[in-house]
Amino acid sequence: MNFLQINNHVFLPHSQGCYLHACPCGFWQSGTKECTCSDYERKRYINKISGPLLDRIDIFSPVNALSYTQIKNENKKETSKEIRLRVEKARQMQKERFINEGIYCNAQMNERLINKYCKLNSKTNRIIEKIYEKFNLSTRSYSRILKVSRSIADLNSREKIEEEDVIEALQYRKYMDQTII
């Protein structure tokens, strides 16, 4: 996955990726510059993206520019090394989980594997059911939420998906207008 923005280039090893500004000028809700687009222009710009395409995106995450103070902040909660170790541990959990399944990561799970490895307790199931009904989610979106929940549980070294994992996964499904899709 490649992200390209003026003077910045980041490569993430993944088979699919998408980077999108929220409007034609790229500054809507950026916190750095004022957006010059009208509501009509923003809606027209975003409506060019079809619902089925949006369904295929696992995580929506706004990325705003940092101030100098934020860059120099020494009080980081987790170092890059610590994050890398958590990710490596989660990937190892997935590798072991799927050793006889013909896949190597949560994103590759089909419906049968989702049913096998993404079991929810009754309270967590009620949460996702309410969101599913309220936002009229597609089956594909529902599956994406479960896969991301499984990955979050793995990052926290948990065998079972907990309520907080699903709630965090739902946060990553919030689109530009804060609607869960």
From 23, 54, 72, give the residue that closes a domain: 72
User: How crowded is the C-beta side of 151, counted as CA atoms within 13 Å?
Assistant: 21
Give the per-residue pLDDT at 59.
65
User: Is residue 167 located within the same domain as residue 84?
Assistant: yes
Please compute the mean of the pLDDT values over residues 168-176 and round it to a whole number.
77
Residues 145, 173: contact at Cβ < 8 Å?
A: yes
Of 72, 93, 113, the residue that ends a domain is 72
Phi/psi of residue 121, nearest 5 degrees: -75, 170
Q: For the CA atoms of 167, 168, 170, 172, what is the dihedral angle to 10 degrees? A: 170
Same domain membership, residue 99 and residue 38 = no
Are 37 and 24 a contacting pair, CB within 8 Å? Answer: yes
Range of the domain at 138: 80-171
Q: Per mean pLDDT, which range of 14-18, 77-81, 102-106, 154-158 is the poorest?
A: 14-18
User: Does 131 fall in a domain?
Assistant: yes
CB 141 within 8 A of CB 181: yes
pLDDT at position 116 is 96
Extract the tokens encoding 78: 């987790």
Residues 165 and 84 placed together within one structural domain of the fold: yes
Predicted pLDDT at 5:
44
Rg, Å, the chain Cα set: 18
Q: What is the pLDDT of residue 20?
A: 66
Is 56 among the domain residues? yes
Token pair for 164:
């907080």
- Backbone dihedral angles phi then psi of residue 11, each to the nearest 5 degrees: -115, 125
Average pLDDT over residues 4-31: 60
- 178 within some domain: no
- Cβ atoms of residues 23 and 45 within 8 Å: yes
Domain count, the chain: 2
Based on the fold, state whether residues 67 and 84 are members of the same structural domain: no
Residue 28 has pLDDT above 80, yes or no: no
Q: What is the mean pLDDT of residues 148-158?
A: 96
Q: Is residue 56 pLDDT above 80, yes or no? A: no
Distance CA 76, CA 98 (A): 34
